[in-house]
Amino acid sequence: MGGVAMSKTIKASIIGITGYTGLETLRLLLAHPNVEIAHLTSRQHENASIGEVFPHLSHLDLTVTNTDHKTVGADSDVVFLGLPHKTAQDVVADLHGSVKVIDLSADYRLDDVETYEKYYTSHNHPELLSEVVYGLPEVVGADAIKNASTVANPGCFALLGQMMLFPFKGMIERADIFAITGSSGSGKSASDGTHHPVRNHNIKSYNINAHRHIPEITRAAGIKEDQLNFVPTSGPFARGIFANAFVKLQADINPLDLAEQAYGEQEFVRLTDNVALANIVGSNYIDLSYARGEDGVIIVQGAIDNLVKGASGAAVQNMNLMFGLDEPTGLDTLAPIYP
Amino acid sequence: MGGVAMSKTIKASIIGITGYTGLETLRLLLAHPNVEIAHLTSRQHENASIGEVFPHLSHLDLTVTNTDHKTVGADSDVVFLGLPHKTAQDVVADLHGSVKVIDLSADYRLDDVETYEKYYTSHNHPELLSEVVYGLPEVVGADAIKNASTVANPGCFALLGQMMLFPFKGMIERADIFAITGSSGSGKSASDGTHHPVRNHNIKSYNINAHRHIPEITRAAGIKEDQLNFVPTSGPFARGIFANAFVKLQADINPLDLAEQAYGEQEFVRLTDNVALANIVGSNYIDLSYARGEDGVIIVQGAIDNLVKGASGAAVQNMNLMFGLDEPTGLDTLAPIYP
Amino acid sequence: MGGVAMSKTIKASIIGITGYTGLETLRLLLAHPNVEIAHLTSRQHENASIGEVFPHLSHLDLTVTNTDHKTVGADSDVVFLGLPHKTAQDVVADLHGSVKVIDLSADYRLDDVETYEKYYTSHNHPELLSEVVYGLPEVVGADAIKNASTVANPGCFALLGQMMLFPFKGMIERADIFAITGSSGSGKSASDGTHHPVRNHNIKSYNINAHRHIPEITRAAGIKEDQLNFVPTSGPFARGIFANAFVKLQADINPLDLAEQAYGEQEFVRLTDNVALANIVGSNYIDLSYARGEDGVIIVQGAIDNLVKGASGAAVQNMNLMFGLDEPTGLDTLAPIYP
Amino acid sequence: MGGVAMSKTIKASIIGITGYTGLETLRLLLAHPNVEIAHLTSRQHENASIGEVFPHLSHLDLTVTNTDHKTVGADSDVVFLGLPHKTAQDVVADLHGSVKVIDLSADYRLDDVETYEKYYTSHNHPELLSEVVYGLPEVVGADAIKNASTVANPGCFALLGQMMLFPFKGMIERADIFAITGSSGSGKSASDGTHHPVRNHNIKSYNINAHRHIPEITRAAGIKEDQLNFVPTSGPFARGIFANAFVKLQADINPLDLAEQAYGEQEFVRLTDNVALANIVGSNYIDLSYARGEDGVIIVQGAIDNLVKGASGAAVQNMNLMFGLDEPTGLDTLAPIYP
C-alpha cells in the first residue's frame, strides 16, 4: 500500500526450489519490490518451465534449472538455500563470503558442533558455525544480521518456542511447551503421517523431549535441556503452529512488561490477549500472549505461519537487513489470509 | 460380534433429542441389543417423523414428539436428558425416584451448591445434589452407579481431564492441562466460534482457568483450584478431545504403575504409549499415556470422542450398570471409525 | 436396538486386513450379531496382535497372521478378500466352491474378459467370470446372491453411479456424471494425491472418461461407453462419495416413479429430495434424489460412504443374503455418524 | 518483484468493511503499490481501531468508522461497496458520477429491472442499470471498464460460470454446470449451513436452477434460462469454487481454439489441462480447461478463489483499468498460497 519503492534491486536465487520452504520463499520474493529472480534450481529438473513443475505458478515466465551452486552464487546478490539438512553443509561452505547466503536448513543453526552432532549428524565444516549468524533478529538483534555474510534461518518450532520464552531469558525455572503444527511442516513428500484420510482428523505428539529444535529454544531462553519439556504435535490443518507454554519463573515478575520490553519495537510481533491461529496464516506476523495463571505459572501462547515467519518470511526479513532495506519491506504488505 | 444377546429389554427415552448429545445417545441406543426406544422428545417439534427433523435418520420409523416429561418417565425404564443446563434441574427433580434417569446436563454433576452456583447459575434443588450419583464408573466405582436412581453424566473436558489425573489422586502438586476440542463440543447451534470459514483452520483457547468443567477435575484429582491450570482450546476438527498434561507429583512414583492400578480392569480405558485422536473417534474408548518428562514432570496425554466417551457413550455405560447388564454391552461392538 | 439375535454363527475371515476395505469389513463384522472372526491375514505381519498393527483396535484380542489362504478357507464359513486387483484372481480360483467368498477386488466384477483386460490387466481365470455373481442386490436381485458361492463386490464409484442410473435402464440417451470422492478411496498408502497439505483444500478430477469403474456403470444402465461422460474427482474430505448426474432420457418419464419402482423395497436406499454427504457417513445407506431440470434433463444426485455401502457394507449385505440372514442384519443398527 | 512502481496514488475507501468481500478488498489494496486507504466504514463500529474489529489486522494503524457515504465519496478517488444487496442501491445512486464506484453487491449487475426483480427484490434506481458497467473485463472488454464511472462487480459463481462458457457464446445448445463452493462464499455470519461440525465433511446442493447468479451466466453465454442447468453446491473447504460443465454445442468446433481466441491475451486466465482448486487459492488467477468428451459433449472445468477473482480481486482489476494502471498491478505479485 502506497509508499515509495526503493530503487535498489537485489538479484536473488533459490537453490532447492521444489521443497515447501524454497517455494514459499519464491512466493514472498514475487511480492517484494526490490527483488528480481536470478536462478531457481532443483536437482530433479534439468531445465523446465516453472509451470510444468508447479502448475499453481504457470503464469510465471521462469525456469527451473539444475545449475550448479557456484554459478548460482556468482550470478546473484543473495542465495536462499532450501536444501535438506546435511546437503546444505558443503554448499554453504562453498558460497560463504562470496555472496550473501540465507540457509533455511538446520546445518548452521547451532553454535557448537557437539550439540549439532547429537541432534543431527556429522558436520563437515564446524569451523564455520561461529561465522554464520543465527537469523532471528528479534532475539540476536538486527545489527548482527546486517553485518552477516551467511545467515542460518531458525527452525519453525524453534522460532516460535524461543520467541515465547526469550523475554524471560535467565529467569526461567522450567518451561513446559505443547506445540501443534500443520501438515506443511512435514515438507513436500507424502508420508504416513501426512496421509489425508487420517491426518484430516488426527492429533498426535512425536519426538517428545527429543525434537531437533530443542537446543535453539534452550539457548534463547537461557535454560538447560532438563528445564524444558517440549511436546511437538501434529494437527489436522495445513499451515501454522500454535503453542502453549506453562512457565515457572524464578521470581514474580509481570510477564507482559517483559514481553513489551523485549518486543515493543518489533514490527512483526503482535502482543495480544487472544492468540488465534487463523489470525496469522499467510503472513509474517507472530502473535504472542502472556498471562498469569494459577500457582505462579505464566501462561504463554503463540502462533506463526510455519512457512512464513517460521521459515521463508524470516528469511526475507533477514535479507532486508543484510541489504540495508527497511526490515519489513515486501512483508508488511502481505496481510494474513482471512478467512 | 457373536455372543448371546441378553433377553432383557429396556424401554429408553430421550428428552431433548435435537441436541448433539441427545442425538448421539440415540445413535448408540440403536446399536444396543437390549434397548427399545419409547419416546424421543423435543420442544421444537410437536409430532414429526424423525426423518423430517434429522434427514440422516430418515430410514427409521420413529417419531419426535413434545410429550411432557412425566408421561415420558411413566412409559420408560430409563430416561436420558439431553437438556440445557438449568432446564434439567426441575425435570430431574420431577422424575427422580420414579424412573432411572441419566442427566447429560451439568445440573447435578457437582456435590455442593456453592460451587455449582459459582460456575453455573442458581439451583432449585440443592437437596438432590447428594442423591444424584456422579456417572463416571472408572472414578467413583461401578457399585455406586449400579445402585443409583439418577446419574449425572460428566462433562466432556471434565471426563478426560479427571481420568488423566485420577491415578495420581492425593499426590499432585500441580497439574497444567492443555486440551483441544472439536467443534461438535459447541453443540448444534451455529455461532461465530463454529463458523466454518475460520474454524476450518483456527486454534484458539478460551475460558482459561475459568471453564465450568474445572471443579469436576479438581474433585477427582484431589486438588484445589489453585493447583490446576486448565487451558480449553478449540481446534479445526469435528469430533474428539486431545489433551496434554504436565503434572508435578509430590513424590517420585512410577506413573504407569499408578495408571495400571487405577485402570487395569477397565474395559474402555486403553493405556498406550502413543495417544492419537484418530484412534478413538466414533467409539467409547479413552486412550491414555503416562511418561516421565524432564525435571520430574509427568507427561500425560489422553483422547476421547467428546460425543461418545465424553457424553452419550458414558451415559449408555451408566445405563448398563444401572440395569445389571455387562458394562460394555452395546458399546464394545462399536469400534472406532478409522480412518 | 432390540430384536432377537439369530442363533446362527458365521465364522468369517478377512484376507488382506491391512487395507482400508479389509479394515472396514472388520469394523462392520465386529458389530454383527452372527459373526465370529476366524482369521485376519496379511502378508506384512507374521503373527502380531491387532493392537500392534492397528492401535485404534488395541482393545481387541485378535491376531493378524500370514496364514495361507487355503487354510483360511478351510477354517471359515466365509472369506472376505481385501486384496489388490490381480492378486485376488488366483485366490478366488483356489477358494471358489469350497467356501463362500466375497471378493472386494475388481477381478471378477466384469462379465467378459476383453473388458476386464482393457481396463485392468490380464486375467488368469476368465472361465470363472461367469460363475462369480456381481454383488449388488439392488441391481442384480437378492436371489442371485443368495445362491452364489463367490460374489464380486462392486467398485465404490461404480456402485453409486450405477444405482443412480439403474432405474432408467434401457431408457437413457446420455448420462453425464460428476462424482467427488474422499481421500480414503485412495487406500491406505500415502501418495502425492493424498498428501494432506494440498489435499486438505484441493479438488481435482482424474481419469475422466477412462476410470476403471465405467464398465460396471454402463452395464447396469444399459448404455454404451459413448453414452456416458464420467468425471471422477478427488475432494478435501476423508469419507464418502457425492455424485451429480445430468441424464437425458429417450422419453419423458417421471424419474421419481421409476426410482420408487426400482428401489421401493430396498432397505438401504433412501429416496430424498436433498442429498447431503454428511447424512450417510459411517453407514450403509445410499441417499438418492431425482428431479426434473431444464431442457428435459433429469438431475440425479447420490451419496454413499465409500468404505461402507461403497465397499465393506455392501460386502456384509451380500454375506447376509448368502447365509439366509435378513439382508440388513448387523448393518441397520449402525446409524450414520452425525455430525 | 522488481519493476518500477508508478507514482500515481489512488485514495481508496471501503464502505462495508466488516463483510468478507470488504475485508478481502482491504487485503488486496494493502498489497497494491498505488493505493492509500482513505476510509473504512461499517455501521456496526462508530470509531474503532481496526485491530479491535479484526485482530488479524492488529498491526495496522487504521480506523473503522461510521462515516456517511457521501463524505467517504468526497474524500476518495474510488469507493468499494461491500454492502448487502438492496442496501447498495441508494448508495450507488448517491455516489454515481461524483467518484469512481466499484459495487461488490448484486444491485447493478443485471441490465434489465425485470430480471433483477425476479431474482432479487425491487429496485429504486432502474434508470441507472444501463449506466453502470458490468465489471468483467475478460467478457465485456477492458475499454468499457476504463470509461466507467461505476462498475458492478460480478457474482462469484457467476464469474466462474460465464467465463467457462463465454468462449462458446452463441454456439451453445445446452450447458449443465455443477459448481462447488467453499464456506467463505456464505459470508461472515454464522448459519446452519456453515456450522463446522457438519460443514466440515458435507457436500450439499441448493437453489438448483434457481440461483441468483444464473442470469449473469446466461447473458454472457448467449443462452436462455432453459438452456442451462446450474447446480450450486456447498463443499467442505473455506476458499474457492471448482466447477465442471458438460456443454453441448450447436456445431463441432475445437473448444480449446475458442478458449485461446477468447482468453489468449488475458493476464489472469490460465488455460490448462488439469484444473485444481489448490492452484489458485489466494490469487486472482482463474484456471480453465476445455476437453472433448463422449457424444460430442465438451467438458469444461474451472477454478477461482471466490473472494479474489470471484470478488475483490476482480474489483481491484477493475480499479486498475478505471485509473489507467496496468490491469494486473498489485495483483500479479500475489501468487497462490500453496500449499
The predicted pLDDT at position C8 comes to 84
Q: Order across the sheet with A47-49: list the strands.
A: A47-49, A63-65, A35-41, A10-15, A78-81, A100-103, A150-152, A133-134
The predicted complex's ipTM stands at 0.97
Does C332 touch chain B if contact means CB atoms closer than 8 Å? yes
CA–CA separation, B99 vs B89, rounded Å? 16
Q: Are C77 and C57 in contact (CB under 8 A)?
A: no
Residues D255 and D168: beta-carbon distance below 8 Å: yes
CB contact under 8 Å between B334 and C31, yes or no, is: yes
Question: Is pLDDT at A2 greater than 60 in this prediction?
Answer: no
Q: Which residues of C are catalytic?
A: 156
Backbone angles phi, psi at C134, to 5 degrees: -70, 125
Instruction: Assign C118 to helix, strand or coil.
Output: helix
Reading phi first (left if > 0) and then psi (alpha if -120 to 50, else beta), residue D86 is in left
Least CA distance to B238: which residue of chain D? D197
The grid coordinates of residue A125 equal 565444516
Cβ pair A294:B229 closer than 8 A: yes
pLDDT tops 80 at residue D6: no
Nearest to B306 by CA among B339, B336, B284: B284
- The kind and range of the H/E element at A1 are none
AA identity, residue D187: G
Give the β-pairing of B286-292 and B228-234.
Answer: unpaired
CA distance B19 to chain D (A): 13
**Is cis: bond before C339, omega within 30 of 0?**
yes
Cell numbers placing D53: 474489529
Contact D54/B at CB under 8 A? no
State whether residue A246 sits within 8 Å of chain B by CB: yes
User: For residue C94, how far is the Cα from the chain centroid?
Assistant: 23
pLDDT band of residue A108 (cuts 50, 70, 90) is very high
**Residue contact C33–B5, C-beta within 8 A:** yes
SS3 state at C64: strand
Owner of C-alpha cell 429389554: B9
User: Could you identify the residue written with the cell 440417451?
Assistant: C173
Q: Given the C-alpha cell 447424512, which residue does it identify?
A: C279
Pairing of strands B297-304, B286-292: antiparallel
- pLDDT surpasses 70 at B136: yes
- What is the pLDDT at residue A1? 43
| pLDDT number for residue D7 | 67
Q: Confidence class of residue C299 from pLDDT cuts 50, 70 and 90?
A: very high
Sheet holding C63-65, edge to edge: C47-49, C63-65, C35-41, C10-15, C78-81, C100-103, C150-152, C133-134
Would you tell me which residues 250-269 of chain D have a C-beta closer than 8 angstroms to some C-beta of chain A?
267-268
Is the pLDDT at A116 greater than 50, yes or no?
yes
User: Given this model, what pLDDT does residue B139 score?
Assistant: 98
Instruction: Give the mean model confidence (pLDDT) for residues B241-258.
Output: 97
End-to-end C-alpha distance for chain A, whole angstroms: 20
The residue that leads in pLDDT, D5 or A241, is A241
> Which of B321, B24, B56 has the alpha carbon at shortest distance from B40?
B24
> What does the pLDDT average to over B291-309?
98
Q: How far is CA C109 from CA A79, C102, C212, in A?
A: 56, 11, 11
A201 and B176 in contact by Cβ < 8 A? Answer: no
How far is residue B48's CA from residue B63's CA, in Å, rounded to a whole number?
Answer: 6
Q: Confirm or reject contact between C282 and chain A (CB < 8 A).
A: no
Tens digits of residue pLDDT in B167-192: 999 999 999 999 999 999 999 999 99
Residue C286 pLDDT > 80: yes
Angle between helices A20-30 and A313-322 (to 10 degrees): 50
Q: Provide the 10 A C-beta neighbour count for residue C220.
A: 23
Cα of D66 vs its chain's centroid, Å: 25
Is B338 within 8 Å of C23 when comparing Cβ atoms? Answer: yes
Indicate if the pLDDT at residue B3 is higher than 60. no
Range C16-41 average pLDDT: 98
- Nearest chain D CA: its distance from A124 CA (Å): 33
Once rounded to an integer, what is the mean pLDDT over residues A255-275? 97
pLDDT at C5 over 90: no
Q: Predicted confidence band at D3 (pLDDT cuts at 50, 70, 90)? A: very low
Residue among B166, D2, B106 at smallest CA distance from A30: D2
Q: Are B311 and B81 in contact (CB under 8 A)?
A: no
B149 near A CB under 8 A? no
State mean pLDDT over B7-32: 96
Active-site residue set of B: 156
pLDDT of residue B190: 97
Neighbours of C288 (CB within 10 A): 25
Sequence-distant (6+) residues with CB within 8 A of D236 are C235, C236, C237, D199, D200, D201, D202, D203
**pLDDT tens sequence across C112-149:** 999 999 999 999 999 999 999 999 999 999 999 999 99
* β-bridge partners, A41: A15, A65
Q: How sure is the predictor about B4, in pLDDT bands with cuts at 50, 70 and 90?
A: very low
Beta strands at B78-81 and B100-103: parallel, antiparallel or unpaired? parallel
- Residue C76 neighbours by CB under 8 Å, 6+ apart: C11, C12, C13, C38, C39, C99
Residues of B in contact with D183 (CB under 8 A): 195-197, 200
Reported as a single tens digit per residue, the pLDDT across C158-195 is: 999 999 999 999 999 999 999 999 999 999 999 999 99
Q: Which chain A residue has the Cα nearest residue C198?
A: A238
The side-by-side arrangement of strands in the sheet containing A172-181 is: A204-205, A228-234, A172-181, A241-249, A297-304, A286-292, A269-271
Are B190 and D192 inside 8 Å of each other by CB? yes
Mean pLDDT over D170-187 rounds to 98
* Contact between D196 and B191 using a beta-carbon 8 Å cutoff: no
Cell numbers that stand for D108 in this block: 447493478
**What's the whole-number mean pLDDT along residues C267-271?**
98
Helix, strand, coil share of chain C (percent; to 5): 35, 25, 40
Give the C-alpha separation, B214 to B212, whole Å.
5
- pLDDT tens, C214-246? 999 999 999 999 999 999 999 999 999 999 999
Summarised one tens digit per residue, pLDDT across range A11-68 is 999 999 999 999 999 999 999 999 999 999 999 999 999 999 999 999 999 999 999 9
DSSP assignment of D235-299 equals -SSSS-EEEEEEEEESS---HHHHHHHHHTT-TTEEE-S--BGGGTTTSS-EEEEEEE-GGGEEE
Place of cell 436396538: C1
Q: Report in angstroms the alpha-carbon separations of B167 from B160, B293, B299, D194, D267.
A: 13, 17, 13, 41, 65
- For the cut 80, the answer to whether the pLDDT of residue C48 exceeds it is yes
Residue from D156, D165, D259, D325 carrying the catalytic annotation: D156
User: What is the Cα–Cα distance from D214 to D192, expressed in whole angstroms?
Assistant: 24
DSSP A132: S
Name the active-site residue from A12, A14, A23, A156.
A156
User: Is C102 in contact with C120 (CB distance < 8 Å)?
Assistant: no
Domains delineated in chain A? 10-154+309-322 (3.40.50.720), 157-306 (3.30.360.10)
Task: Give yes or no: A156 in active site.
Answer: yes
Q: Is the pLDDT of residue C313 over 50?
A: yes
Other C-beta atoms closer than 10 Å to the C-beta of B189 total 11
Note the pLDDT of residue C208. 98
Residue B84 in this model has a pLDDT that exceeds 60: yes
Whole-model pTM over 0.80 = yes
CA C132 remoteness from chain centre: 16
